[in-house]
């Protein structure tokens, strides 16, 4: 099974398991969430009445093209379920997100969600966060070099994310530093508390105690839930 097939089966399994007619649904961002949005579009075409909130301009455009009704987050009081990808998942279902650049809206949407369902293929599983992926940190453009020094003091090497020769700019108009930790992240909760007090930091890519469940697809075509529930 190739990487795209693994993303598709886990995304479709998550939608078919968690999305029910009449729900408010959060739409994730990235190449795995792409397949979930396409599947949600099929449900809408089949007559489901869903109200959706997107975590990025990219996902909003895809959703509208797929015939999905998209509203602002403030138009709903809560989301019943959000289906989103992740860059790393540890055995306690703690996550690193944001390589797709949408971590700020993803975290706001997750906070408004009853069931945050994460969809990954097995390549995203790690014993310790920060060992495969860098930790993305979204920062204000103003004084961002100073913010970088403060991030560096947390024991990482922060690299300004670039796109087409210029700094990558998020949907919120900010920059991202991808922070590499040589030994991975020993204590994600402590690190988050240190990063969040740095002036200039808008949001970090640690999603701690956020996942209601994580669905994982494997090379052999199976999908399992980290909560231990049946799929």
Binding site for ligand 5RP (CB under 6 A): 28-33, 84-87, 97-103, 106
Q: How far is the CB of 7 from ligand 5RP (least distance, A)?
A: 6
The residue from 12, 88, 106, 116 that is catalytic is 106
- The smaller minimum CB distance to ligand 5RP, of residues 98 and 188, is found at 98
Nearest to 119 by CA among 24, 230, 13, 37: 13
Task: Give the bridge partners for 201, in sequence order.
Answer: 139
Residue 106 is among the residues annotated as catalytic for this protein:
yes
Work out the widest C-alpha separation in the chain, in whole angstroms: 53
Q: How far is the CB of 29 from ligand 5RP (least distance, A)?
A: 4
Q: Which DSSP helix (H) or strand (E) runs through 119?
A: strand 113-121
- The smaller minimum CB distance to ligand 5RP, of residues 59 and 66, is found at 59
Nearest to 34 by CA among 17, 1, 11: 11
- The smaller minimum CB distance to ligand 5RP, of residues 41 and 100, is found at 100
Q: How far is the CB of 42 from ligand 5RP (least distance, A)?
A: 19
Task: Give the bridge partners for 217, in sequence order.
Answer: 121, 223
Residues with a known catalytic role? 106
């Amino acid at each position: 099974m190739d990487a795209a097939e693994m993303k598709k089966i886990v995304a479709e399994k998550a939608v078919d398991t968690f999305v029910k007619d009449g729900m408010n649904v959060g739409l994730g961002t990235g190449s795995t969430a792409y397949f979930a949005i396409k599947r949600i579009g099929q449900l809408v075409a089949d007559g489901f009445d869903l109200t959706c909130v997107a975590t990025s301009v990219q996902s909003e455009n895809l959703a509208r093209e797929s015939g999905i009704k998209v509203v602002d987050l403030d138009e709903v009081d809560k989301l019943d379920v959000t289906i989103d990808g992740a860059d790393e998942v540890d055995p306690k279902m703690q996550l690193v997100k944001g390589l797709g650049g949408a971590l700020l809206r993803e975290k706001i949407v997750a906070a408004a969600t009853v069931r945050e369902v994460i969809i990954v293929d097995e390549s995203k599983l790690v014993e310790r966060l920060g060992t495969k992926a860098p930790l993305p940190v979204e920062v204000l453009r103003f004084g961002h070099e100073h913010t970088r020094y403060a991030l560096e003091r947390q024991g990482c090497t922060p690299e300004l994310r670039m796109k087409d020769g210029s700094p990558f700019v998020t949907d919120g108009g900010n920059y991202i530093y991808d922070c590499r930790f040589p030994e991975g992240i020993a204590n994600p909760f402590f690190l988050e508390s240190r990063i969040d007090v740095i002036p200039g930091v808008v949001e970090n890519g640690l999603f701690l105690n956020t996942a209601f469940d994580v669905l994982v697809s494997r090379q052999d075509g199976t999908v399992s839930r980290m909560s231990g529930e049946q799929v």
